[in-house]
């Protein structure tokens, strides 16, 4: 009985930590930029500096971050502990200012913003090298970016 209880508690803790590092799909399902399609990636996202031309202002994302920290119900409400991140990275055609593509990503966890950045760089290079389609990359990142990291980053590093 005690072993079963300990196992159940351990599973609950692992599940909560894992789930906490992913955005809530009801709040942040992801959204794409309709101006970026497979046929024009070489003229859009694959041009160095493209994302700077579409990145929303910090004043906007900071305001959204504060609202979403409350919406997500995070116990730690310090905005400095989160990066307001695009679920589908701008570098692979994520929507720049759609709140459905933004979420307050924890900085201090196993699957934090720095790890997601590794995925963004890897998958961006793969899209621009035609090793993965734009749609597949967007779906991998919006579906479960941790599994995508394990599939793409772990293999390429």
Using only C-alpha atoms, the chain has a radius of gyration, in whole angstroms, of 17
Phi, psi for residue 72 in degrees, rounded to 5: -75, -20
What does the pLDDT read at residue 8? 43
Residue 120: Cβ-neighbour burial (10 angstroms; 0-12, 13-18, 19+): buried
Contact 100, 31 (CB under 8 A): yes
Can you tell me which residue has the tokens 């919006």?
142
Residue 44 DSSP symbol: T
What does the pLDDT read at residue 13? 40
CA distance 44 to 38: 10
Give the pTM: 0.85
CA distance 13 to 37: 40
* Domain range annotation of the chain: 2-156
For residue 84, the SS3 value is strand
| Digitized pLDDT (tens) for each residue of the chain, 157 residues in all | 554 444 444 444 433 344 568 999 999 999 999 999 999 999 999 999 999 999 999 999 999 999 999 999 999 999 999 999 999 999 999 999 999 999 999 988 889 999 999 999 999 999 999 999 999 999 999 999 999 999 999 876 5
Residue 85 DSSP symbol: E
Token pair for residue 122?
């890897």
């Amino acid at each position: 009985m005690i072993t079963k209880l300990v196992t159940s508690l351990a599973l609950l803790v692992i599940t909560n930590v894992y789930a906490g590092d992913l955005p809530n799909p009801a709040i942040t399902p992801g959204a794409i930029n309709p101006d970026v399609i497979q046929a024009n990636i070489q003229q859009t996202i694959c041009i160095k500096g493209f994302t700077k031309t579409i990145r929303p202002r910090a004043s906007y994302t900071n305001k959204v971050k504060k609202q979403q920290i409350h919406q997500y119900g995070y116990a730690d409400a310090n905005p400095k502990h989160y990066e307001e991140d695009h679920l589908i990275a701008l570098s692979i055609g994520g929507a720049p200012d759609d709140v459905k593509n933004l979420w307050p990503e924890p900085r201090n966890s196993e699957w934090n913003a720095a790890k997601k950045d590794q995925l963004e760089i890897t998958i961006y290079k793969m899209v621009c090298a035609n090793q993965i389609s734009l749609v597949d990359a967007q779906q991998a990142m919006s579906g479960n970016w941790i599994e995508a990291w394990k599939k793409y980053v772990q293999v390429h590093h």
